[in-house]
Amino acid sequence: MSEKKIHFKIITPERIVFEDDVDSVTAKGVNGSFGILPEHIPFMSTLDIDTAKAEKDGKEYIFSIIGGAFQFKNNEAIILTEAAECGGDIDTTRAQLAKERAEASLSSAQTQQDIKMANAALTRAMVRLKAASQNNNNV
């Protein structure tokens, strides 16, 4: 008898970033991290800006997730997000430059709106770097 799997999809407005049957999914919701295994009860969460992980046959797949929503029902997990990337696809040089730009913007910010926008850009860049780093450690 075959082992149960989770059908997992990460979807952005532009494309399906990932779709495969996996053994587990972990992500960070706005109220904390969570993990999902096959046959889990239905579950929904608003996602924080952070990484998500899928595990399949002992291999980890790391993704940068820029907020969004997570839903699990009937062994199907879906992340709907504005932006997501597989850690292995992230251009670390570009992400590092984005981080440096965001840090410069933050240091020169003059209004609360400027600070908010610079912090958001910095968080996105750091999550992309985190996903790339975690992917390099697990491949």
pLDDT digits (tens, 9 = 90+) for 42-95: 999 999 999 999 999 999 999 999 999 999 999 999 999 999 999 989 999 999
Looking at this protein, which amino acid is placed at residue 109? A
pLDDT at 139: 44
Looking at this protein, which amino acid is placed at residue 68? G
pLDDT at 109: 84
Mean pLDDT confidence for 119-128: 91
Q: Is the pLDDT of residue 3 over 90?
A: no
CATH architecture for the domain at 6-87: Sandwich (2.60)
The H or E element spanning position 123 is helix 112-138
Cα–Cα distance measured from residue 79 to residue 18, given in angstroms and rounded to the nearest whole number: 10
Cα–Cα distance measured from residue 99 to residue 111, given in angstroms and rounded to the nearest whole number: 20
Q: Which string of DSSP letters, residue by residue, matches 43-100?
A: EEEEEEEEEEEEEETTEEEEEEEEEEEEEEETTEEEEE-S-EEEGGG--HHHHHHHHH
Q: What is the pLDDT of residues 93-103, one digit of tens each?
A: 999 999 999 99
Residues 6+ apart with CB under 8 A from 103: 118, 122
The CA-based dihedral angle spanning residues 63, 26, 33, 103, taken in that order and rounded to the nearest 10 degrees: -10
Q: Which two tokens stand for residue 12?
A: 């952005």
CATH of span 91-138: 1.20.5.440
Cα–Cα distance measured from residue 67 to residue 65, given in angstroms and rounded to the nearest whole number: 6
Domain boundaries, the chain: 6-87, 91-138
